[in-house]
Structure 1
Amino acid sequence: MAGSKAVQKEVKEFMTGLKRRNPHEGEFHQAVQELVETVMPYYLDHDQFRKWRILERMTEPDRVVMFRVTWSDDTGTIRANKAWRVQFNNAIGPYKGGMRFHPSVTLSVLKFLGFEQCFKNALTGLPMGGAKGGSNFNPKGRSDLEIMRFCHSLMTELFRHIGESKDVPAGDIGVGAREIGYMFGQYKRLENNFVGVLTGKGLEYGGSLIRKEATGYGTVYFAQNMLNHIDDSVEGKDVVVSGSGNVATYAIEKVLHYGGKPLTASDSGGSIYDPDGIDEEKLEFIKQLKEVRRGRISEYAEKYSSAKYLEGKRPWGVKCDIALPCATQNELNADDAKELIDNGVRVVAEGANMPSTLEAVHHFLDAGVLFGPAKAANAGGVAVSGLEQSQNSLRISWDAEEVDGRLQNIMKDIHAKCVKYGEGDGKVNYVAGANIAGFEKVAAAMVAYGVV
């Protein structure tokens, strides 16, 4: 193993070069730093990867497609947005990754997401490369017809860059079944071809059961695997969850299935804390509130007297055994991590993409917290997307039990890979394990191809 000083020097030099080549892309820098810190010793000890300069090549996307999306709103006003598709790496399969519609979408955000996707997809064991895309379009407050016109316009350009054996986008923040339906309809019209080019589709036209639940369920499956590894379980544990979208609500649902006690949920306005726990009835209220009425989480505290509304606050100040950040990137910082540690947290599993800052991750690891990084704990969603691709290719449809069973096995296998590459001195560093396992698979494929 390369010495720690040599590793630190290599990491510093590598990151200096990457930042110089990719200026003003903070999210992307963070994602690469997190991987390089743990992978560098492994990289330095494997001459075949150094010889072919795999790390340098791996941190540059294969291509970035940027285009304008022009559409008209309901008043007839012409609007224009930016959109991108970052096709990062297809060494182990067709590009795979979601499309995100949100004002915060930038090239830096999409590059970080696409980069993470490469290793997350590799961990699933399915033949999927890494990509990400999206637009700074905000669907909030827009009518169905406005969203349809935007999606049709976007697909009129995007269709030429994707395909069932080339690049298979999915949903992400701001892109649900409605948006996928509009995009798939336009793709089908333009190509005159019915193929599984998008995942997250409706069940009526090729979608998969358990897709909506997959990321949240997968996050809890991974937490359960981490606890099972030390002869423990989610049962009886107090759990704090951030967010109130699909990932958060289905993480809460699976915590209930395992006998845990979920205490919190949140949105951009603040958090609710219910010391009595969020039961099945209360969870159904949240689902209706957010999925149907698109209301604010503060309404939960108005309905249930047992709950408190923490305006403008995230739920990390609540005492807990398990924390599941399921909202968005960098929602949990170093101070939050310290507070969670002081309040007795034992397990953190990331349901969102890179929800913890680098400093927060270091605090958790130093404190001996079982920390499941997003590329492992968040992989359930893309795993079921991959299963949807398989069903489309085979022209079959598996039942919910079949898909969920496959998801559980995939998450168990991801955990085993993390243990294999991250175990030392009787403990498991899941960050190192996930990074090295994902890197090794993609790197080996790249070496096999030579210089391409």
Structure 2
Amino acid sequence: MSYIETTMKKLQRSSPGQPEFYQATEEILQSLRPLIDKHPQYLQQNIIERMVEPERQIMFRVVWHDDEGKVHVNKGYRVQFSSTLGPYKGGIRFHPSVNASTIKFLGFEQIFKNALTGLSLGGGKGGSDFDPKNRSEQEIMRFCQAFMTELHRHIGATVDVPAGDIGVGKREIGYMFGQYKRLNGNFEGVLTGKGLNWGGSLVRSEATGYGLVYFTENMLQAHDDSLDGKRCLVSGAGNVAIHTIEKLYQLGALPVSCSDSTGTLYHEKGIDLILVRELKEQRRSSLIDYLESHSDAKFTPIDQYPKDGHAVWRIKADAAFPCATQNELTLADAKALSENGINCIVEGANMPCTADAQAHIIATGMHYGPAKAANAGGVATSQLEMAQNASMIQWSFTEVDKRLQEIMKDIYQRCSETAIEFHQPCNLAFGANIAGFRKVADAMLEQGLV
């Protein structure tokens, strides 16, 4: 049994019942074989075993009451995985699906994503199984305050700087920041994704979607191609999907789909982004209401999805951008995409492809941008927000966007060069895993047993 297999079995014993965490861990560890063969010091110093165990795992109950006075109890998490390269950095997710496995897989991925940015950021993640849907503003505020009351003692501007994620936007960040300030008496950059009037950064809300498209354009340009004129499939209808669609339009592409928890929207003429924004950000309604304004569009309810996958990936197009959630793109979906002419898949969500789907995509030779590289624009701009907070200044939209473009170009080049170094050119997933791991591992060796 190999060292990696032994490590995985040990991890499954110490962290039982966490399939998403195992999936993310094994995907990275399997990539490391050639690196370990070349640099045995990583084995000698047990770097892998040290890295797969979080430095700290915090679990707590969150007690709050609704508008009728009924008391509710939710579970809260913050997993501080690695502070080797800087303060823990990673989002907070509010969604019923949140559990220890979800948070740990996200936190583990965050280590390498943050390392690839070239910025001084460690890796962490947090969240709760609280569902903000159909909750009033006051209920959301009370929950956020209760969550921060438990979390505040574990975070700080140079310790752990959370951001938003699914279910946590500027509103939730605002309520949590206010509670942190009240409890600690400090106005500091302890959260990113803040409002522009009180320490936020321009481009932060756009950054993950924009960065995703910048990464894609760099990847295609390296193969004498571009996004101009390409029909694009996008899943999701949240912040990442919306800004991916926006930037695709700006670069001459035609996004024709998006999706939410109720189903998939397909509009052959191109998605009406203004209307989607109104539906999701103002009216907070289902995408099916899009048909009231565009009768030529098609909506597929979730109960009519293929049994082996997702309706959005069965549409003919040129490029695909999964931006919804983990494991949303199955092996059957990946095969359908290749049969329908897709030659470019770039991940906006975290681990949106199942393990066998990812293997199929890489084997077919499609242009593939893995999440830990392609969707790093959000955390990169969070660090730019931290830098602005530390200097008590605010950069212009143009300045932040320029830095974001440079960071995404550097990430692509780092992944590509590492893949070439280890004789797997074009396999950016392999390059991303090796490049991210090596940066963190080398720093761990230099810092000793900490």
TMscore range, shorter length:
over 0.9
**Aligned to 1:328, what secondary structure does the other structure show?**
coil
Partner of 2:369: 372
In the aligned structure 2, how far is the partner of 1:301 from the partner of 1:403? 36
1:165 match: secondary structure: coil
**Structure 2 partner of 1:291:** 281
CA–CA distance in structure 1, aligned partners of residues 292 and 423 of structure 2: 49
Q: Which residue of 2 is the match for residue 389 of structure 1?
A: 386
Mapped to 1, the partners of 2:373 and 2:296 lie a distance apart of: 34
- Report the aligned-residue RMSD: 1.1
Q: Structure 1 residues 109-118 or 47-56, which shifts more? A: 47-56
Deviations 1:55-89 (A, max 9, x none): 11000000101111111111111111110110000
> How far does residue 44 in structure 1 lie from its aligned partner after superposition?
2.9
What SS does the corresponding residue of 2:201 show, helix, strand or coil?
coil
Whether the 8 Å contact between 1:323 and 1:345 is mirrored in structure 2 is yes
Aligned residues: 442
Q: CA deviation at 1:428?
A: 1.4
Amino acid at match of 2:446: A
Runs of 5+ consecutive residues of structure 1 not aligned to the other structure: 1-7
What CA distance in whole angstroms lies between the structure 2 residues aligned with 1:385 and 1:341?
35
CA gap of 1:184–1:119, structure 2 versus 1, over 3 A, is same
Distance 1:334 1:367 in 2: 12
Q: CA deviation at 1:448?
A: 0.8
Alignment check: 8 A CA contact 2:424 2:430 kept: no
Query: Which of 393, 404, 421 lines up with 2:401 in the alignment?
Result: 404
Question: Using the alignment, how far apart are the partners of 1:44 and 1:78 within structure 2?
Answer: 55
* 2:38 aligned residue (29, 32, 45): 45
Deviation of 1:206 (Å): 0.2
Q: SS of the residue aligned with 2:123?
A: strand
* 2:62 counterpart of 1:69: yes
Q: Which residue of 2 aligns with 1:447?
A: 445
- Aligned equivalents of 1:434 and 1:426: distance in 2? 12
2:316 aligned with 1:319, yes or no? Answer: yes
Give the alignment of 1:420-431 within 5 angstroms: 420-423=417-420, 427-431=425-429
Deviation string, structure 1 residues 176-208 (Cα, Å, up to 9, x no partner): 111100000011111111000000000010001
1:231 correspondence with 2:224 = yes
The correspondence of residues 39-118 of structure 1 with structure 2, limited to 5 A, is 39-118=32-111
| 1:237-290 deviation line (CA, Å, top 9, x unaligned) | 110000011100110111101101111010111111111122xxx101000100
2:235–2:257 Cα contact (<8 Å) kept: yes
Task: Tell me, in whole angstroms, the C-alpha distance in 1 between the residues paired with 2:217 and 2:322.
Answer: 16
Corresponding residue for 2:412?
415
- Aligned-partner SS, 2:205: helix
Contact 1:209 1:403 (C-alpha < 8 Å) held by counterparts: yes
Is the Cα contact below 8 Å between 1:10 and 1:40 reproduced in 2?
Answer: no
Per the TM alignment, residue 306 of structure 1 is displaced from its structure 2 partner at its CA by 2.3
* Structure-2 separation of matches of 1:264 and 1:9: 44
Opposite residue 153 of structure 1, the aligned amino acid is A
2:146 to 150, 153, 175: 153
Q: TM-score, normalised on structure 2?
A: 0.96
Task: Report the equivalent of 1:332.
Answer: 329
Among 291, 300, 303, the alignment partner of 1:310 is 300
Q: Is the 8 A contact 1:272 1:301 kept in 2?
A: no
Q: CA offsets, 1:108-159, max 9 Å, x none?
A: 1000000000000001111000000011111111111111111111111111
Aligned residue for 2:258, secondary structure, equals: strand
The letter for the 1-side match of 2:441 is A
SS of equivalent to 1:84: strand
Q: Any runs of at least 4 consecutive aligned residues in structure 1 with deviations exceeding 2 A, and if so which?
A: 8-14, 423-427
The superposition leaves residues 369-391 of structure 1 with CA deviations (integer Å, 9 ceiling, x where unpaired) of 11111000110110111110000
Give the distance between the partners of 1:436 and 1:421, measured in 2 at CA: 7
Answering whether residue 353 of structure 2 is matched by residue 356 of structure 1, we say: yes
- Name the residue aligned to 1:5: none
Quick one: which amino acid aligns to residue 444 of structure 1? D
* Correspondence for 1:209: 202
For 2:5 and 2:60, locate their aligned partners in 1 and report how far apart those are by CA, in whole Å: 34
For the Cα contact (< 8 Å) 2:86–2:121, is it kept in 1? Answer: yes
Instruction: Read off the aligned partner of 2:114 and give its amino acid letter.
Output: N
* Contact residue 44 and residue 50 of structure 1 kept, 8 A: no
Counterpart of 2:165 in structure 1: which amino acid?
D
* Mean CA deviation greater in 72-81 or 87-96: 72-81
Q: Which residue in the other structure is 1:3 paired with?
A: none
Query: Partners of 1:425 and 1:129 in 2: how far apart?
Result: 29
**TM-score, length-normalised on structure 1?**
0.96
Q: CA deviation at 1:37?
A: 1.2
Matches within 5 A, 1:120-159: 120-159=113-152
2:443 and 2:236 map into 1 onto residues whose CA distance is 37
Unpaired segments of 5 or more residues in structure 2? Answer: 306-310
Asked whether the equivalents of residues 234 and 245 of structure 2 are also in contact (C-alpha less than 8 Å), the reply is: yes
Q: Would the alpha carbon gap of residues 159 and 426 (structure 1) be closer, same or farther in structure 2, given more than 3 Å must change?
A: closer
Amino acid corresponding to residue 44 of structure 1 in structure 2: D
Partner of residue 28, structure 1: 21
Shift of 1:425: 6.1
Partner of 1:274 in structure 2?
267
CA separation in 2, counterparts of 1:341 and 1:136?
35
Asked if the contact 2:334–2:361 (Cα under 8 Å) also holds between the matched residues in 1, the reply is yes
Are residue 193 (structure 1) and residue 186 (structure 2) matched? yes
**Does the alignment pair 1:245 with 2:242?**
no
The equivalent residue for 2:430 is 432
Amino acid in structure 1 at the alignment position of 2:277: K
Paired amino acid for 1:290: K
CA distance in 2, matches of 1:272, 1:39: 39
Output the amino acid matched with 1:393: A
Supply the AA of the counterpart residue of 1:84. Y
Cα drift, residue 426 of structure 1: 8.1
- The separation in 2 between residues aligned to 1:196 and 1:43, in whole angstroms, is 38
Which SS does the other structure have where 2:127 is aligned? Answer: strand
Q: Distance in 1 between matches of 2:325 and 2:85?
A: 27
Cα distance in 2 for partners of 1:355, 1:302 equals 30
CA distance in 1 between partners of 2:267 and 2:133 (Å): 28
